[in-house]
Amino acid sequence: MVPETDFIVVGSGIAGLRAGLELARAGAGVTVLTKDRREESNTEYAQGGIAVALADTDEVSLHEEDTTSAGAGLCDERAVEVLVEEGRWYIRELIEWGAEFDREGGRLLFTREAAHSRPRILHAHGDATGREIVRALLARAGAERKISFLAHAETESLIVQDGRAVGVRYLDPLVRAPRTLLARGVVLASGGAGALYLHTTNPAVATGDGMAMAFDAGAELADMEFVQFHPTALNLEGAPRFLLSEALRGEGGVLRNAAGKRFMPRYHDAAELAPRDIVTRSIVAEMERTATRTVFLDMTAFDAAYLRRRFPKIYSTCLGFGLDLARDPVPVSPAAHYIMGGVRTDLEGRTSLPGLYAAGEVACTGVHGANRLASNSLLEGLVFGARAGRAAAQDLAVPHAAAVGTGATDDGGPGATAREDLRRMSAAADAVRKRVRRLMWERVGILRSRASLTRALSEFEQIARAPLRTAPRNFLTVAALIARAALWREESRGAHFRVDFPARDDGRWRVHSIIQKDAGISSAETVEFAATVRQ
């Protein structure tokens, strides 16, 4: 007998947890599958905070304007309205559930980040906002008897029957044997794909599996060319690419070149507070101009006591690598951070594949356009995670029959010979990932061209000819989707920069890229984006 549940949620970040809570509120049983421990997600590593127009000096309309301005002409206006308006309510709910955001004199404390016109960033414990949100949501989920977690279960593919998503195949967390789980519907909240790049701020689990699974099952993906690179990741030999939050520059940190000279005012009027894509490319240009591999983030104008209080995690991490944030400019350079594209959804999380819903970084609602505004991602996961859960519960209140004979094995695990085969395949998978990451960084990275993208796709095709297990093939699939979309878009917009087409071209390219298996790439007008996904 193949196990069944009412709904499957893939991923336990902010979007997955909020979707699961909404499903449980509707009385449905929910199984949450996570690739690692249930706390491990991009949400947990979010430092800077969550943007919301709750301050006395702020307005929803200003938050909306800042979001659409950063999105470089590709934001879906209705999606942005939903984000900034409903976000206020969901943040208040999160506080009611026990999330402890930083306060001063009992009042919520807001800070400002790049491209925001007002201080509207809530943070928790200085620079541990994501961790606090996950803590609060997990505590709430733990009180729900309808929600169960299956940790260390790597989801590999969707089960589709009669044109509907009816379950998932995953690897058993104990014996690494394939398993099948059936449900009325599936909510993908599996996060982004930063780990496809050699240098990234993302955890190792951010490999784009949900995007690959949806694509292979026939769902539409959108805007895959738009990958945001965070300008300031720790650039120290032997150290991980630890994120140095946007909030550091929001508080007054400045960027200096290897000669100690501040350089951002030469590149943009807003200097360090320019949009992320501009700061990132400015750093690349400055490193090229000075023939160096790093620039420096300078916070030495602030005393140590303030920095320890405001940025405790960043301060202690830098100190662990011999850098005192109050005395030492910190070497930084860009790293892959966030993907604006993903599984195409409407405003309720519905995808083009019936039974499949998506929310968070794995999804593309059109809310971020070509370039995400800083600290909008957590808000998006919160708002659209709830919407996706609610829509799934309403749409699929009556169970759909699902076939049991799906072909997935459900045995006791591999024997000795099979285990040796698994070890060999694992080594081969590691080699594939290493090669793909380097190709993505060098040829599908911050600066792109027809030559670099064509070369990357050619090499991806060569890699694909080898026999690969599902996980590395998913990894390769998403890499190729990003490269294909980047080659298709012959302009520069937001986070996507083509050195051979350096100008933004609204006449031809103010459209979303839509990609579907066996159908190539097409386009959708911005005003039609969310309205055209229907079950």
Residue 344's pLDDT is: 97
For the segment 246-262, the average pLDDT, to the nearest whole number, is 93
Q: Which string of DSSP letters, residue by residue, matches 78-100?
A: HHHHHHHHHHHHHHHHHHHTT--
Q: Can you name the residues that pair with 524 across neighbouring β-strands?
A: 512
Decide: 244 and 233 in contact? Cβ < 8 Å: yes
Query: Higher pLDDT residue, 212 or 310?
Result: 212
Supply the pLDDT for residue 267.
Answer: 95
In this structure, which CATH number among 3.50.50.60, 3.90.700.10, 3.40.50.150, 3.40.50.300 belongs to the domain 227-337?
3.90.700.10
- Backbone phi and psi for residue 447, each to the nearest 5 degrees, phi listed first: -115, 130
**How many C-beta atoms lie closer than 10 Å to residue 431's C-beta?**
13
- Mean pLDDT for the chain overall: 90
The type of residue at 301 is A
For residue 493, pLDDT over 90 is answered with yes
Model confidence at 176, pLDDT cuts 50, 70, 90, reads: confident
Residue pair 230/337 in contact (Cβ under 8 Å)? The answer is yes
Q: What pLDDT sits at residue 190?
A: 95
| Predicted pLDDT at 111 | 86
Residue 529 has pLDDT above 70, yes or no: no
Q: Which two tokens stand for residue 392?
A: 């799934």
CA distances 13 to 19, 247, 365, Å, are 10, 22, 17
The residues with which 379 forms a beta bridge, in sequence order, are none
Considering the chain, tell me which residue range(s) the CATH 3.50.50.60 domain(s) occupy.
1-226+340-535
> Cβ(409)–Cβ(178) under 8 Å?
yes
DSSP string, 155-168: EEEEEEETTEEEEE
- Contacts of residue 381, defined as CB under 8 A and 6 or more positions apart, other chains included, come to 13, 14, 15, 18, 43, 189, 359, 360, 361
- What sign does the dihedral 214-220-226-230 (CA atoms) show? negative
* Residue-level pLDDT at 409: 43
Q: Is 4 helix (H, G, I), strand (E, B) or coil?
A: strand
Phi/psi for 524 (5° steps) reads -135, 135
Contacts 24+ apart (CB under 8 A), 260-268: 260/296, 260/329, 262/298, 263/295
Question: Residues of CATH 3.90.700.10 domain(s) within the chain?
Answer: 227-337
CB of 153 within 8 A of CB of 208?
no
Q: What is the pLDDT of residue 316?
A: 93
Judge whether residue 2 has pLDDT over 90.
Answer: no
* Predicted local distance difference test score (pLDDT) of residue 401: 53
Question: Quick one: pLDDT at residue 424?
Answer: 60
- Higher-pLDDT residue of 178, 275: 178
In this prediction, residue 44 carries a pLDDT of 57
* Confidence (pLDDT) at 43: 59
Cα 511 to Cα 500: distance, rounded to the nearest angstrom: 19
- What is the structure's pLDDT at 114? 76
Q: Tell me the C-alpha distance between 314 and 320, whole Å.
A: 10
CATH architecture of 1-226+340-535: 3-Layer(bba) Sandwich (3.50)
State pLDDT tens for residues 425-476. 567 788 899 999 999 999 999 999 999 999 999 999 999 998 888 888 999 9
- Asked whether residue 234 carries a pLDDT value surpassing 90, the answer given is yes
Burial class (CB in 10 A: 0-12, 13-18, 19+), 478: buried
User: What is the predicted pLDDT for the residue at 422?
Assistant: 52
Report the C-alpha gap between 206 and 47 in whole angstroms.
17
Determine if residue 125 is left, alpha or beta; phi over 0 gives left, psi from -120 to 50 gives alpha, anything else beta.
left
pLDDT digits (tens, 9 = 90+) for 382-424: 999 999 999 999 998 876 555 444 333 444 444 555 455 555 6
- Backbone φ and ψ for 463, nearest 5 degrees, come out as -60, -40
pLDDT score, position 46: 55
**0.85 exceeded by the pTM?**
yes
- The pLDDT of residue 442: 96
| Percent of residues, the chain, with pLDDT higher than 90 | 73
Q: Which of 140, 276, 387, 484 is catalytic?
A: 276
Confidence at residue 366, expressed as pLDDT on a 0 to 100 scale: 95
3-class SS of residue 292 = coil
Contact criterion met (CB below 8 Å) for 34 and 152: yes
pLDDT digits (tens, 9 = 90+) for 340-378: 999 999 999 999 999 999 999 999 999 999 999 989 999
Q: How confident is the model at residue 261 (pLDDT cuts 50, 70, 90)?
A: very high
User: Residue 191: left (phi > 0), alpha (psi -120 to 50), or beta?
Assistant: left
Look up residue 196 and give its DSSP letter. G
Q: Residue 526 pLDDT > 70, yes or no?
A: no
- Report the DSSP beta bridge partners of residue 330: 297
Around Cβ 530, how many Cβ atoms within 10 Å? 23
pLDDT of residue 236: 93
Cα 157 to chain centroid, rounded: 19
Between 44 and 294, where is the model more confident? 294
Phi, then psi, of 295 in degrees rounded to 5: -125, -175
CA distance 434 to 441: 11
pLDDT at 534 over 70: no
Which of 183-192, 396-405, 526-535 is the least confident region?
526-535
d(C-alpha 205, C-alpha 10), whole Å: 13
One-letter amino acid at 374 equals A
Q: Is position 276 annotated as part of the catalytic site?
A: yes
Which H helix or E strand runs over 278? helix 276-290
**Which two tokens mark 93?**
């709910």
The pairing of beta strand 342-344 with beta strand 363-364: parallel
pLDDT at 421: 54
**DSSP for residue 518:** T
pLDDT tops 80 at residue 214: yes
8 A C-beta contact, residue 190 and residue 11: yes
- Residue showing tokens 């240098």: 199
Please provide residue 489's backbone torsions phi and psi, each rounded to the nearest 5 degrees.
-85, 100
Q: Is residue 144 helix, strand or coil? A: coil
Q: What is the mean pLDDT of residues 13-19?
A: 95
Compute the average pLDDT of residues 80-88.
97
Q: How far is it, in rounded angstroms, from Cα 388 to Cα 248?
A: 33
Confidence at residue 394, expressed as pLDDT on a 0 to 100 scale: 95
For residue 238, the model assigns a pLDDT of 84
229-240 mean pLDDT: 92
Say how many C-beta atoms besides its own lie within 10 A of residue 510's C-beta: 17
Q: What is the pLDDT of residue 404?
A: 43
